[in-house]
Amino acid sequence: MATAAPARLLPEVEKFLAESPLKSVIGGKDVAAASGETMTTRDPGTGEPIAEFTVLSAAEVDQAVTAAADAFKRSGWATMTPNERGVHLHRLADAIEKHKPIIGQIESLDAGKILGQALGDVQNFVDTLRYFTDMAQHVQRRNVLAVAGHEAWTVRNPWGPCGFIFPWNFPFLLIGWGVSPALAAGNTCVIKPAEDTPLSAIYLARLAREAGIPDGVINVVTGTGAGAGAALSANPGLKRMSFTGSPEVGRLVGEACGRNLVPVKLELGGKGAAVVFDDVDVAATAEKLVGAITFHTGQVCCDATRWLVHKSIYDRFIDECRTRMQKVHVGHQLDGSSSMGPVVNAKQRARVLSYLEKGVAQGAQAVVEGGPAAVPGRDGYYVKPALLAGTLDNVAAREEIFGPVAYLASFSTEDEAVAMANDTDYGLANSVWTSDLGRAARVAESMVAGNSWINAHNLFPKGVPYGGVNKSGTGGGVNSIETLFDYWRSQSIVRPL
Ligand code: NAD
């Protein structure tokens, strides 16, 4: 199917899209739904169709779990040495890196992500895969225990087939964060991408096949959340499940896994705070926070969406933010001059606009008005950055909007700022901004969340655990040695002497 993207697509991307309807990949084979059912994925920057993709039934998703279980038992993947598996996974990382311009363009087109950011996501996948692959070769999986009167040890082995369900905001990067530790540990996987952004997952499964990863180790099932997603999370053959997405769907996935006693990792939404003290460089802090809220059009789970600013710099801070927000150049994601692309679909745009309306109706002041953005010649899902201000009982200050909308409130004391930051059901990520590093550490540790950042927002160095608490998630998070251990089951062995 032809695309209406304004930029010229790479021939490899054109060729991939021309295969529409694109199939799922199960046991190394391209699989279409027996029903022939397909869905359309659209370019968020134009609203035009990019490609059709297959919509699997529940029974077809179950076949993918069976394929992953077979590969776990029979392909040799689970029993090969970490070094041998490492050769395969580094070869896959090499293939992804080599195809970065292609995957980046596919991702940009499908998710509405600025091209440079999409390329960064692809590199992030490569780095994550290499990080876990190398770690799996070096950590001790067998530990002798000093126990009186006994010979005892523990050993860690892979679990088996693992399920993964992903959202549309970082489709490729999140697959990397999710499956890399599972694969490095010797598990097999079934990946369900979001229905808005299935393309990079399909491309990945094909690359894995070309790179010689045994068939059935990486399966990709496409379709709806209520169909393919629900079938995957209810499959009793899975040994682990990982879900990244909204708390509402996370609850459903957790319930389904609970019925089968399948351990589940939930990475959910957020309503992060940035606490800004009066000893900061006001202009530089405004620059960074406006950069964070407009990055990927605010569709970032760990964004700072509540900006809590010391009252003595509040007015100056607003002025600095307003100037910067008004300069953001909204445009098509593949257009090199755009600094902020569209949101992912019409529903998401309506959601963002409705929160602006509801927020103002409940008494918030629109410091920067936001609203729909017009991009000449492109009928995509564009919105402008917005800044609301008011009290924190406002709906726009309490609920996750998932767009380029920040909410401002002022504070007088450190204790008040911490209490305001913690007045939320979520617990994903907050930041504190101050030149007093003692205060920074104190406040960072007092904010109840999986992550606190100091004088920065959205930091993900490999090796630093990332995850949410409370309504933002459960199950240990991602990106550290603990995540690798999550994908090994631990077994104790003991003999009386
Ligand atoms: P979503 O929950 O609507 O969908 C996520 C995935 O779940 C999709 O693949 C969807 O098809 C699937 N799904 C939908 N219904 C299902 C069901 N009944 N059973 C099983 N699967 C089902 O989320 P979204 O709108 O795609 O993404 C936005 C949300 O993701 C936001 O809340 C955001 O904060 C969160 N998120 C969290 C993180 C994190 O690391 N904590 C990262 C990215 C996004």
Q: Which residue out of 162, 189, 301, 302 is catalytically annotated?
A: 301
Sign of CA dihedral 243, 245, 251, 252: negative
| Strand blocks (E) in 262-417 | 264-267, 272-276, 304-310, 365-368, 371-372, 383-384, 386-389, 405-411
CA distance 64 to 47: 31
Residue with tokens 């659209």: 42
Q: Please compute the mean of the pLDDT values over residues 434-438 and round it to a whole number.
A: 98
Closest residue by Cα to atom 26, ligand 1, is: 167
Helices (H), 362-472: 395-398, 414-421, 437-446
- Give the pLDDT score at 204: 98
CA distances (Å), 462 to each of 64, 448, 474, in order? 30, 22, 20
Joined together, the tokens standing for residue 243 give 């879900």
In 3D space, the residue among 92, 50, 380, 66 whose CA is nearest the CA of residue 238 turns out to be 66
Atom of ligand 1 nearest to the CA of 468: 41
Dist. CA 301 → ligand 1 center (Å): 10
Instruction: Label residue 4 by pLDDT band (50, 70, 90).
Output: very low
Digit-coded pLDDT (tens) for 217-251? 999 999 999 999 999 999 999 999 999 999 999 99
If one counts every other C-beta atom within 10 angstroms of the C-beta of residue 494, the result is 11
Strand order in the sheet with 218-220: 29-31, 24-26, 218-220, 188-192, 161-165, 240-244, 264-267, 473-474
Mean pLDDT of 29-56: 98
Q: Assess whether the C-beta atom of 426 lies below 6 angstroms from ligand 1.
A: no
For position 94, what pLDDT does the model report? Answer: 98
Please, what is the Cα angle at 253 between 248 and 259, to 5 degrees?
A: 130
Atom index in ligand 1 nearest the CA of residue 192 equals: 9
Tokens of 363: 């008494």
Joined tokens for residue 35 = 């029903």
Could you give the CA distance from residue 309 to residue 273 in angstroms, rounded to a whole number?
A: 10
pLDDT-based confidence at residue 7 (cuts at 50, 70, 90): low
Packing angle of the helix pair 115-138, 171-184 (nearest 10 deg):
10
The distance in angstroms from the start CA to the end CA of the chain is 70
Please tell me the predicted confidence (pLDDT) of residue 8.
86
Mean pLDDT, the chain, as a whole number? Answer: 97
* 297 DSSP assignment: G
Q: Where are the beta strands (DSSP E) in 57-98?
A: none
pLDDT at residue 53 greater than cutoff 70: yes
* 31 Cβ contact list (under 8 Å, min separation 6): 23, 24, 25, 54, 56, 60, 63
Tokens of residue 134, six digits: 């190398």
Q: Is 267 a catalytic residue?
A: yes
Distance 178 CA to ligand 1 centre (A): 14
Integer Cα distance of 452 and 225 in angstroms: 32
